[in-house]
Amino acid sequence: MFCKKCGKQIDDSAIMCPSCGAPTDNYTQAQPNVIINNNANGGMGYYPYKNKVVAALLCFFLGVIGVHRFYVGKIGTGLIWLCTGGLCGFGILVDFIMILVGSFTDKAGYPLK
């Protein structure tokens, strides 16, 4: 088969393209809870998805101290939420709505599952 992203020929059982790292159609069948990505040193690694329900509950109950942002790996903005009370409540509301509609992402830019 051929990679949908870079067009190079890859093995039919490949989960991802060895050239560009793009997931193949086999990926969703093989790894429903993790994604494979290229790490900084060029090797391959697993990246676990963050749970959307957990993030929504953390935002609802502990959003004022930014726990949901720490959970998804956004430490910098988590500290801002902690120091400002969730941007005076407005940031909590925006984050909660973004989590519910599915546009909130983790530190690496992957959507919550």
Distance CA 105, CA 34 (A): 15
Spell out the domain ranges in the chain.
1-49, 52-101
Q: Average per-residue pLDDT in the chain?
A: 83
> What pLDDT was estimated at residue 6?
84
**Do 18 and 2 form a contact (C-beta atoms < 8 A)?**
no
Whole-structure pTM over 0.85, yes or no?
no
In angstroms, the CA 53 to CA 30 distance is 23
Distance of alpha carbon 11 from alpha carbon 18, whole angstroms:
9
Cβ neighbors of 72 (< 8 A, separation 6 or more) are: 50, 55, 104, 105, 106, 107, 112
pLDDT digits (tens, 9 = 90+) for 67-113: 999 999 999 999 999 999 999 999 999 999 999 999 999 988 888 88
**Average pLDDT score over residue span 42-71:** 86
pLDDT at residue number 77: 94
Rounded to a whole number of angstroms, the distance between the first and last alpha carbons of the chain is 28
Closest CA to 59 of 51, 73, 69, 49: 69
Q: Could you read off the pLDDT of 7-25 as tens digits, one per residue?
A: 888 888 777 777 777 777 7
